[in-house]
Structure 1
Amino acid sequence: MIQARSEWSVKPARRTCPTPAKVTVEGWHQRGWVHRLALSLRAARPHVAFDIRNHGKGGATSRDVAGIVGGDRAVDHVDYDLVFLGCGINDVWRRFQGRPDEAVDIDEYTRHMTTMLEQLNGYSRRIVVISETPFGPVENPSTVAGMNAELARYNRAAALAAAERGALHLDVWAPFTVAAEHLATATADHHAGSLWSDGVHLSELGDTLLLRQVETFLTEHRIVDKLLDPRLERERALDA
């Protein structure tokens, strides 16, 4: 969830000349696509103050996310310029894990998505519903295929809910599927790695692919530009 406002009175930082040093890079560490998106936005628009609130929670189902959305509004009363909303993979996975009490069926999932979109529409200028990424090799191939067939139903329900309530929809399923197929057939000297760390959670490569999809989507739809320039909001009004 993001707030953005222009701040042009920026004082230049004092520059110093550090002593030359040799640095050996032994590894790379990142904090997920949301953190990297925040850095990307701030680097591209240093004159804008972005207030970014990541309410993501590992292992959360749509039931949990609905509670987070409702609780955030009740406590903070913050209006948002841009909201990314996505959930569903744990709703499906819990059932295949044999944890039926935590699983969320498609009807309940649809109710949660509808409720959250209705709530967010009341205090958000632009909402992007982002699809879930497919399962990777977390189980045997036939089980994974069944899990992905079920998850695809949840993604379709989310896309329909977004369309009915004026939200944008970002479908990342196809890019992940194509990339996974290429990686699965790559030669032994191809060191790109896997999109998943365990078949469910994304690896650094998976996070990077997701980040690229989000950045491309923001650019193609000129979302940040329109939010920063109220005159461009007329296009959204005409669409509505």
Structure 2
Amino acid sequence: MILRTGQRMVFIGDSITDCGRRDVAAPYGSGYVSLVRALVDARHPELELEWVNRGVGGDTVRDLAARWDDDAIAERPDWLAVLIGINDIWRHYGDRPDEAVGIEEYERTLRDLLRRAVDATGCRLILGDPFFIEADRSVPQRADTDRYAAVVAGLATEFDAVHVPNQAAFDRVLAVSPATRWADDRVHPHLPGHAVLADAYLSALGVS
């Protein structure tokens, strides 16, 4: 395992990370962040890790940029886990297409944010793929999501980051079950869907 005693784990992203952490489920949310924290702490209490959730529902990478200094750099993470991109894509398919973020802007902005965080804090990065809980890769939103996930995978290599293949994790369960088992809207997971994500994070971090 690559985690070390006393490290500060900061998670940042959109509603999948937020998951009520600013209100009814403060301070960690009721999703994958809370599950990862609980399982790591239970399996390795000797590490005494610090956990911070800075997800904000509805965020795109543009919104992340606007709060990056306060919610990422100022938190002085040892590990910074970033999951962003779902809204960047989804807005194109909804009633706010002007807020969608094209893939070139997405890659450029995310690379800049990651570089700033690493240069300012010396943190290690954990980069999670955006995902769409849909098995048919020809569905346009799924096809777009795969393209954005490939950007994240490339950035993970560029920054020597831990890469979390979230889409692949959902593809594994979708091979034997319907999407409705994991989410009503193919985006916001039920608790078992968050467990799929948490399992992917634990595997990527080598937590057993």
TM-score w.r.t. the length of structure 2 is 0.78
Query: Counterparts of 1:218 and 1:34 in 2: how far apart (Å)?
Result: 13
Unaligned runs of 5+ in 1: 7-29, 186-192, 223-240
State the partner residue of 2:174. 180
CA contact (8 A) 1:61 1:90 kept: yes
The counterpart of 2:204, out of the listed 207, 211, 217, is 217
Residue 3 of structure 1, CA deviation = 9.0
Secondary structure of 1:200's counterpart equals coil
The counterpart of 1:199, out of the listed 186, 194, 201, is 186
Tell me which amino acid in the other structure corresponds to 1:211: A
Query: Counterparts of 1:124 and 1:145 in 2: how far apart (Å)?
Result: 39
Tell me which amino acid in the other structure corresponds to 1:127: L
Tell me which amino acid in the other structure corresponds to 1:5: G
State the partner residue of 1:70. 69
Structure 1 or 2, whichever has the larger Rg, is: 1
Aligned residues: 184
Secondary structure of 1:5's counterpart equals coil
Residue 73 of structure 1, CA deviation = 5.1
State the partner residue of 2:40. 41
Query: Counterparts of 1:63 and 1:4 in 2: how far apart (Å)?
Result: 33
State the partner residue of 2:60. 61
State the partner residue of 1:226. none
Query: Counterparts of 2:150 and 2:128 in 1: how far apart (Å)?
Result: 11
CA contact (8 A) 1:4 1:51 kept: no
Query: Counterparts of 1:148 and 1:199 in 2: how far apart (Å)?
Result: 10
CA contact (8 A) 1:114 1:161 kept: yes
Query: Counterparts of 2:178 and 2:41 in 1: how far apart (Å)?
Result: 35
State the partner residue of 2:127. 129
Identity %: 26
Query: Counterparts of 2:49 and 2:172 in 1: how far apart (Å)?
Result: 33
Query: Counterparts of 2:198 and 2:157 in 1: how far apart (Å)?
Result: 23
The CA RMSD measured in Å over matched residues stands at: 2.7
Secondary structure of 1:127's counterpart equals strand
Tell me which amino acid in the other structure corresponds to 2:152: A
**Per-residue CA distance 1:68-119 (angstroms, 9 max, x = gap):** 3233256xx3322211111111101001103122111111101111011101
CA contact (8 A) 2:90 2:100 kept: yes
**Per-residue CA distance 1:38-66 (angstroms, 9 max, x = gap):** 11222222233322111111121111122
State the partner residue of 1:208. 195
CA contact (8 A) 2:77 2:123 kept: yes
TM-score w.r.t. the length of structure 1 is 0.68
CA contact (8 A) 1:136 1:199 kept: yes
